[in-house]
Amino acid sequence: MKFDGQTLAGNTGFKVGKKVLLVVVLLLLALLPMFPNSAYLVSTVTLIMIYMALGQMWNLLGGYAGLLSLGMQAFIGIGGYSLAVFSIDAGLNIFVAVFLGGVISVLFGLVVSPALFKMTGVYFAIGTWVVAEALMIFFSNWSVVDYAKGIMIRSVYFLTGEQIYYIAVLLGVISVLVVYLLMRSKTGLALMAIRDNPAAAESMGVKIFSTKLKCYMIACFFTGITGGVAYINLAYITPSASISTQWTIAMTFMVIIGGIGTMEGPIIGSIIYVALTQYLYNFPGISMTILGAIAVAAIMVVPNGIMGTIHNKTGFELLSPRRIMPPDWKKLLGVERAKEQVEAAGDKASKKE
């Protein structure tokens, strides 16, 4: 009998309330630019969507696959510079340029992954960071990207705030959907098994390298695409800003505050992060101090993140990748039969006595 993640996932599904909630949220997102005086809200939600997509990918690696990467900013830089170079120098359509950024990110990920996947834990984290720093230095000395001079991405000026918003919303929703579907697939189950116990996962037939690679490639692609969209919004790029640890700090902040290893964590984390940073612009000079204090306080009060804590206390999850065992799971697993066999063996033994 075939028994995989997909079969088990089939019995979960959304509850009606959750479906309604999701529809309402999506509807609000779709209609938001039509509200009067919503330009700033639209701009803020654009940022939330971009950061959410980044957070989802970081969470996919760190929260589900156990690949704590400190170097995802490399793909933001690749995505941003692909947009700049392909759309300005090569004259390509900006969406083609953004897509190419995703493809190049995958190729770059493929090149560095054999070396990176030889490392685990903190070594993997440092390895990814070193790769990103090396790429930043390479870009700073590469004529194709005009060294470290910075590029004004004039090719994106024609887009209005609303258009960028819809691009970002599409990206944000797709990123959530991709991670959700991935985690509810056989690969997702394998990833969590690798995260929890690599040796046991391998002994159960999980192919560690190829599973990690698949996950890493997906994260590379979407982080690259998100980098492109982020720079459609920012319109000015330099190597030091695009391949900056600031992005990783933001991703880590969002996922940890929101709840690592939960689908909703990066969503909540991105809302909190963007809302806080935007609000704190009103406190010039002390904004970083306040943000740091909030981060420390949040980690102390809710060490599992907001969604992790809510889940632990109430069991609530909006987008759960967890599988619910089907009603006939005992039959599927042969538990009843095993129980009968054990009981029969027990009876036999007692008769002998």
Residues that bind other proteins (CB under 8 A): 15, 17-18, 21, 24-25, 28, 37, 39-45, 47-48, 133, 136-137, 140-141, 147-154, 156-157, 161, 234-236, 238-241, 244, 246, 264, 267-268, 271-272, 274-279, 281-288, 310, 314-316, 318
Shortest gap between Cβ of 216 and other proteins (angstroms)? 25
Is residue 254 a contact partner of residue 270, using CB atoms and an 8 Å limit? yes
Q: How far is the CB of 2 from other proteins (least distance, A)?
A: 31
Least Cα distance to 264 among 97, 6, 52 occurs for 52
How many C-beta atoms lie closer than 10 Å to residue 4's C-beta?
A: 11
C-alpha 163/C-alpha 46 separation (Å) is 10
Phi and psi angles of residue 247, each rounded to the nearest 5 degrees, phi first: -65, -45
CB nearer to other proteins: give 62 or 227. Answer: 227
* Distance in angstroms (rounded) separating the CA atoms of residues 303 and 298: 7
Q: How far apart are CA 346 and CA 30, in angstroms?
A: 64
Beta bridge partners of 32: none
Residue 51 C-beta: closest distance to other proteins, Å: 11
156 vs 201 by CB, closer to other proteins:
156
Output 18 or 330, the one with its CB closest to other proteins. Answer: 18
Name the nearest CA neighbour of 64 among 228, 201, 173, 170.
Answer: 201
Please, which residue, 146 or 193, has the CB nearer to other proteins? 146
CB 245 within 8 A of CB 73: yes
